[in-house]
Amino acid sequence: MIFLKTEDEIELMRKANLLVGRTLAEIGKIIKPGVTTKQLDKLADEFIRDNGAIPTFKGFPNPYGPAFPASICTSVNEQVVHGIPTDEPLKDGDIVSVDCGTLLDGFNGDSCYTFMVGEVSDEVKELLRVTKESLYLGIENAAAGKRIGDIGYAVQQHCEKHGFGVVREFVGHGIGKEMHEDPAVPNYGRRGNGTMMKNGLCIAIEPMITMGTREVCMLPDKWTIITRDRKPAAHFEHTIAIHHGKPDILSSFEEIEKLGV
């Protein structure tokens, strides 16, 4: 069932999502070689709670195994999504996707940014650039009267044109009082297919793009998803509302991008 949001609910969602953006910016300030993803997680947990919210990922249930043990997902290099923070230091040339969720005043925020650690290869920079571009192309197609397939088509065409793989097994989603609501928002599809979008629809659009083939597999921890060919993957995510017929981005990369990362 799809729950369309009122004007007031969209504003509450904006607050939750802007907190996610600020949290990611705090994380971006300390990302460098030698820092561990557990340190990033500790910072995020404290920042979210200090701002009156709950980190929604912590304790998130898993049908295949234990609940998620951390407040953020930190997916390094070939890890696509749902990476668990560890004590292993980040290295020069790594990339790390940090996915963050908050629950504030009854509504959820959800956003992800892929950070570069030190000096990253031109090939990896290109992967990040194209993935972020595809996110905004997907958002452009999130308008009243268009269909969910229009978003996936825009993301898929842009990434495949550059020779990158588009993960099929994990997709974007509706969001509101629950972190994951209907509809599913794939990063692939056909124009004119799928659910028609209406004012009040809130969705998380999140391209998960691989440098090599699109095949993925799950690690024994029952959470971490990696590329089967072990090539790097990138992940960017915004939560948006269809507002006055157009996409309204509720989360923000503005504070992150001021850091020049």
- Residue 64 confidence class, pLDDT cut points 50, 70, 90: confident
pLDDT for 202-211, tens place per residue? 999 999 999 9
The DSSP code sequence of the chain is ---PPPHHHHHHHHHHHHHHHHHHHHHHHH-STT-BHHHHHHHHHHHHHHTT-EETTTT--BTTBSPP-SSEEEEETTEEE-PPP-SPBP-TT-EEEEEEEEEETTEEEEEEEEEE-SS--HHHHHHHHHHHHHHHHHHHT--TT-BHHHHHHHHHHHHHHTT-EE-SSS-EEE-SSSSSEEEEE-S---TT-SPBP-TT-EEEE--EEESS-S-EEE-TTSS-EEETT---EEE-BEEEEEETTEEEE-S--HHHHHTT-
Instruction: Identify the pLDDT of residue 260.
Output: 81
Whether residue 147 is predicted with pLDDT greater than 80 in this model: the reply is yes
- Residue 261 confidence class, pLDDT cut points 50, 70, 90: confident
> Which domains are assigned to the chain?
7-258 (3.90.230.10)
